[in-house]
Amino acid sequence: MYSVIEQMKKEIAKVIVAQEEMIEALLIALLCEGHILVEGVPGLAKTSTIKALAATMKLDFKRIQFTPDLLPSDIIGAMIYDPKSNDFKIKKGPIFTHLLLADEINRSPSKVQSALLEVMQERQVTIGDTTFGLQAPFLVMATQNPLEQEGVYRLPEAQLDRFMFKVIVQHNRFEDELTIMKQVAAKSSKEIESIDIMQSLTPLKTAIEAIHIDPEIEKYILHLVRATREPHENMSYGASPRASIDLYKASKARAFLNRRDFVSPQEVAQMAYPVLRHRIGLSYHALANKITTDMLIKEIIKATVIP
């Protein structure tokens, strides 16, 4: 099982330099049937990474550029009148795919963003009176540009809660950017060899489910999540029960990628950041003092007794 994961990483590395955190978050989300929100400035290979993942796994990939004039029907599809048959027929939208890139998701109003809620949670789409189930696997990777504040909309908490992870993508190190510069300029990227992953997905998920997690570790997960709901001058609201579920699943997947057959507190603490950082509301006091959610999570981890 580990060989499949390593082979996938090797193929993705042919076109993506570094960005290990984003790649591993995508793999974990895919294996745990979650979704991922990625925040970073333009040019950090966010689109290229999910395209490389799709090419590696032989999965369908579609991209939606979110804009202020986008309509829900542009995402999920619509009923179209056919004059030849004098009847309506269903035209499916780009949501019918395996990997969906929702690029700059915060550029569209809440009506469009809410069109994704049923899809992300239930993995089904309702068009007119007909409900369609989506093919597995299905993953939404949404991106946000933190620099531009004009013409953007704040994502509703209900939608943020549907994302398993929020990953902050940073600039590459000097050596990595030097490699990228030479590789792209010389067009020397190697061609990805596709892996027939569909037959391996079920055994991989079964192996992750079999990872042992001690009852004390389960309580540790709950203590971390529930600590975000305690009254605090820097927090306006805390994480929902979905965070507990996602942290539980992510910790097991992280242990699997670390080649452990059990979950340790280190895996829980490591996954707490991407699982919780978008589920904590910052108070005005925190914003005024430039306190981030990652700082609060670090504080919570330090204050929580490790089993």
Q: Is residue 191 part of a domain?
A: no
pLDDT on residue 129: 83
Q: What is the CATH number of the domain that holds 246?
A: 1.10.8.80
Regarding whether 294 and 219 lie in a shared domain, the answer is: yes
For the chain, give the number of residues: 307
Q: For the chain, how many structural domains are there in total?
A: 2
Do 85 and 138 have their domain in common?
yes
Angle CA 29–36–74, to nearest 5: 120
Query: Based on the domain organization, do 57 and 111 belong to the same domain?
Result: yes
pLDDT score recorded for residue 43: 80
Q: Are residues 219 and 180 located together in one domain of the fold?
A: no
Does residue 102 sit in the same domain as residue 223? no
Residue 8 located in a structural domain: yes
**Token match 């189930």: residue?**
133
Give residue 164's domain range.
Answer: 2-185
Query: How big is the CA angle at 46 (ends 248 and 238), to the nearest 5 degrees?
Result: 35
State whether 108 and 50 are in the same domain. Answer: yes
Rounded Cα distance, 10 and 52, in Å: 11
What CA–CA distance (Å, rounded) separates 266 from 268? 5
**Residue 155 has what pLDDT?**
82
Q: How many CA atoms lie within 13 A of 242 on its CB side?
A: 19
Q: Are the C-beta atoms of 105 and 144 separated by less than 8 Å?
A: yes
| Residue 203: inside a domain | no
What is the pLDDT at residue 258? 93
- Clarify whether residues 224 and 146 are in a common domain: no
85 lies in the same domain as 229: no
Tell me the C-alpha to C-alpha distance, in Å, between residue 286 and each of 38, 60, 82, 302: 22, 42, 55, 19
pLDDT of residue 149: 64
Same domain, 23 and 58: yes
Q: Are residues 105 and 143 in the same domain?
A: yes
Residue 195 included in any domain: no
pLDDT in tens, 28-62: 999 999 999 999 888 888 888 999 999 998 899 99
Residue-level pLDDT at 150:
63
CA 63 to chain centre: 15
* In contact, 167 and 274? CB cutoff 8 Å: yes
**CA 241 – CA 172 distance, rounded (Å):** 34
Residue 190 belongs to some domain of the structure: no
The residue ranges of the chain whose pLDDT is under 50 are none
Query: Are 45 and 51 spatial neighbours (Cβ–Cβ below 8 Å)?
Result: no
The dihedral region occupied by 55, where left means phi > 0, alpha psi between -120 and 50, and beta the remainder, is alpha
Clarify whether residues 9 and 95 are in a common domain.
yes
Nearest to 98 by CA among 161, 141, 39: 141
Q: Give kind and range of the element (H or E) at residue 27.
A: helix 20-31
Residue 22 maps to which CATH number? Answer: 3.40.50.300
- pLDDT number for residue 225: 97
Residues 106 and 22 in one domain: yes
Residue matched to tokens 């974990």: 28
